[in-house]
């Protein structure tokens, strides 16, 4: 099994991600846990506490991400240094 980290988001891909998010929200607003997709700034703020953990080496941390959505937080985790093998992503909406 090979694990490939997600690629950086281009402006075109970002627009596609927003459309995908909005379609999912329109289809099932109670099933989508946000009113807007997570972006880079939110992801960076969410990652700040991780560097305060005793095992602050991101390569040694394990993360379970519930509801990956458009992947903004997933990309931020990997850019932060988390190894893909230490990341379990669960998403109920396959689109």
Q: What is the pLDDT of residue 46?
A: 82
pLDDT of residue 2: 47
Question: What is the C-alpha to C-alpha distance for residues 69 and 6, in angstroms, rounded to an integer?
Answer: 13
Interval 63-74: pLDDT, tens: 899 888 878 888
**19-57 residue pLDDT tens:** 888 888 888 888 877 777 777 788 888 888 776 566 667
Q: How far apart are CA 47 and CA 65, in angstroms?
A: 13
Distance CA 9, CA 21 (A): 15
Close Cβ partners of 21 (under 8 Å, ≥ 6 residues apart): 32, 34, 36, 37, 69, 70
């Amino acid at each position: 099994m090979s694990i490939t980290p997600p690629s950086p988001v281009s402006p075109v891909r970002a627009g596609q991600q927003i459309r995908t998010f909005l379609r999912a929200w329109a289809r099932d607003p109670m099933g989508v846990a946000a009113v807007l997709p997570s972006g880079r700034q939110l992801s960076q703020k969410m990652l700040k506490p991780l560097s305060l953990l005793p095992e602050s080496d991101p390569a040694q941390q394990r993360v379970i991400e519930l509801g990956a959505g458009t992947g903004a937080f997933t990309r931020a985790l990997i850019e932060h240094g988390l190894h893909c093998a230490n990341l379990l992503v669960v998403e109920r909406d396959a689109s």
